[in-house]
Chain A
Amino acid sequence: MARSFRTAIVVGASSGIGLALAEQLAASGCRVAAVARRKDRLDELAARFPNLILPFAHDVTEFGEVPELFQQVTSQLGGCDLIIYASGVMPEVGKTEFNTEKDMAMINVNVLGAIAWLNQAAIRFQGSQSGTIIGIGSVAGDRGRPGQPVYNTSKAALSTYLEALRNRLSKLGVIVINVKPGPVDTEMTRHLNFKNAISASNAAKIILSKTSRSREYYLEPKHHLIFAIIRRLPSWIMQRRGI
């Protein structure tokens, strides 16, 4: 059964899964702090959900801003029962390209931004002995694959970080979840021309229906089997098959 939340922070709420999560939480009556870089989009979102969505324009790579902003957000929100880190970037990377600028951007947004925000939530939830942390990971974090070396790395790092949070905080009553979507139709992935991608709205619906306990899970059930195999594949097979 889906839990209901009174207050939530969604980081990365201007598009994709983050936007859909913010919309669905607000539609359920939850007060949502929508955090993202693009202020115009946040304002448009807030206008659709007056008094339920509070917009906070912020670039997640401005790590130093986070502690004070986190307090401003929780103060205006009147608490924080749930935080979802949905910010993520995946620039196009050529098959032979090694671009440190793009790679650093991915690490900054996908990993360090998550740590900056979720550390604040972890301190808070450790004190209140309650709360739910959700990180939007990816099946891409399961293995190092040739197409997106640093995107894979960033999602693997996020997964390990969330596992560590889960092992620290679960015993205090804090729920820590790592969701691993496969192909989802969002702005970030549109250039990949996924076939059979699920919509961001469906992804959000599934995520909000599975918040009752700490865990890591694949968004689509079929991926449990597929990635159980992929995780166990010897590297030489992946090299030979170009997986």
Chain B
Amino acid sequence: MDHAATRHLELARIRRFDGFGGLSPGDGYLFEPTSLHELRSVVLLAEELDVPITLRGSGKSYGDASSPLESVTISLARMNRVLAWDKETGVIEAEGGATLEAIWQYVLQDGWWFNVVSGTMKPTLAGAVSTNIHGKNNITHGTFAEHVEMLEIMLANGEVRQLTPSQPEFWAVHGGLGLLGIVTKVRFRLKKISSGNVRVVQRRVHSWAQQFEMFEKFDDADYSVSWVNGFTNGAGVFQAAWHSESSEPETLDLRHQKIEGKLAGLIHRDTAWKHLRRITNRPGMKLASALKSNAARISEGAPKVMSLVQYNFPLDYLPNWQQAYVPNGLLQFQAIVPAQAAEGIFNNLAQRWRSAKLEPYLVVLKKHRPDETWLRYLDHGFSLALDFRQTPRNAPALNHLYMEMADVVLNAGGRFYFAKDGLLSPEQAKRSLGEAAIARFTALRDEWDPKRRFKTQLSCRIGLDECVQYARP
């Protein structure tokens, strides 16, 4: 072959990037531009060398949504400034690399909070847009996209565009999995609060039917979620929460929101995952799940007051908790199913994972409404997010179970959230997203990125891109 000398990427830029679950590693050449000008240079360099670009936020997607394929891997970690903040209207504008953590720390003292936020505060705004995050109030507040007033995107040719909700492409970029361009700026609305606390009510439930009843019964709650015990068929602890309506300015102080350093006054939170690792196995998690239900029995009566940070960001409560799953990995499955079919589907799924003795160690149930994005993943119904521990020994059976469960969901008209998935096949992805949606999205990519500069392992795996170099694990 011809090895004529041409420019190539600096090898020292290579880094290993993985999904949050630790099962989707890929190597890429890391670039961290500090300005639009530098960013454009990186994009044009990738064009010149004909190398794909993968966009990397905080790496909190569980699967391969931001895993590179020897790509120019762009992180906006150094384009993270708040550009404008109006504390009268609650509208903030920030660069794409600003994290949700930086935003709440900026606005809380002025009495504002997110309309929609994920279970971790670590995502960047660009990541929040690209995966169109949702939270425990999806049924009342929708997804992140519904609160964005303007976003700025750099396309594959270096051109910068601003998009507003009146433009159809705005709804393609939201939830567009970072395949249309680089979100460099986001302007969005926050909601007014008078307290930094929420009032939380817990109820023990014993079946899927009871779970759904709870969501009906507490439909006035600001937030609702249920923590299902994966070792049972639908039992768990339902939680509803309301923003505190009284004026409590002292709770808006950042110090009030600080998550305390030690668990039970003994174990430092930063190293708690090492202890968690000892019980991240079937007997340990079975016991922990039972203890959680019993603890809820005690606290069922009185409402509990929690800080906004503690309530909204449970995934940050134990830093690096996913490390408890290494050297193996965390495989997450999040399916959204139509309300009328939910009980039957969840029954079916639970029976499958229980008979395979592959129970998920964490199961989260939420209620949803459809989103308006082109690659829509939500619907009227319920979602079930399952955390499985993958080991070399159980991987074949677990992957088989995952695919079987995916087919059960898809046969019932369900959908999948690709920020969580790491395994679906192109055919399953097509059924989840719908052929018309994929065709519309592809047509926009043909227009904005005809050479398919923006690629990820996910886009290759689910057949949105053809990637000769992608080796499916």
A76 touches B468 (CB 8 A): yes
B14 contacts partner chain A, Cβ-Cβ < 8 Å: yes
Give the size category of A's interface with B.
Answer: 20 to 34
Could you list which residues of chain A lie within 8 angstroms of chain B, going by C-beta atoms? Answer: 6-7, 31, 56-58, 65, 67-72, 74-80, 120, 123-124, 126-130
Smallest CB gap from A70: residue in B: B11
10 inter-chain pairs at a CB distance below 8 angstroms, sorted by A residue, are A70-B11, A71-B8, A76-B468, A78-B471, A79-B26, A79-B69, A124-B14, A127-B11, A127-B16, A130-B25
Bound Cα distance A128, B470 (Å) = 18
B469 touches A78 (CB 8 A): yes
Residues of A within 8 A of B9 (CB): 71
What are the 10 tightest A-B residue pairs by CB atom distance, in nearest-first order? A78-B469, A128-B16, A127-B14, A71-B8, A123-B11, A75-B70, A124-B14, A68-B8, A65-B3, A31-B471
Bound Cα distance A128, B25 (Å) = 10
A-B contact sample (5 more), CB < 8 A, given A65-B3, A127-B14, A130-B16: A68-B3, A71-B9, A79-B26, A124-B11, A127-B13
Given the interface pairs A6-B473, A58-B3, A79-B70, the reply to whether A123 lies near B12 with Cβ below 8 Å is: yes
Given the interface pairs A6-B473, A75-B70, A78-B469, the reply to whether A68 lies near B14 with Cβ below 8 Å is: no
B11 touches A75 (CB 8 A): no
Could you tell me the distance in whole angstroms from the C-beta of A35 to the nearest C-beta in chain B? 11
Secondary structure of the B side of the interface? loop
Bound Cα distance A80, B27 (Å) = 9
Residues of B within 8 A of A68 (CB): 3, 5-6, 8
Bound Cα distance A117, B5 (Å) = 17
B469 touches A77 (CB 8 A): yes
Bound Cα distance A194, B461 (Å) = 50
B15 contacts partner chain A, Cβ-Cβ < 8 Å: yes
Bound Cα distance A7, B470 (Å) = 10
Bound Cα distance A78, B469 (Å) = 4
Given the interface pairs A70-B11, A129-B16, the reply to whether A79 lies near B1 with Cβ below 8 Å is: no
Smallest CB gap from A130: residue in B: B16
B76 contacts partner chain A, Cβ-Cβ < 8 Å: no
A6 touches B471 (CB 8 A): yes
Could you tell me the distance in whole angstroms from the C-beta of B73 to the nearest C-beta in chain A? 11
Indicate with 1 or 0, residue by residue over B315-357, a CB within 8 angstroms of chain A CB atoms: 0000000000000000000000000000000000000000000
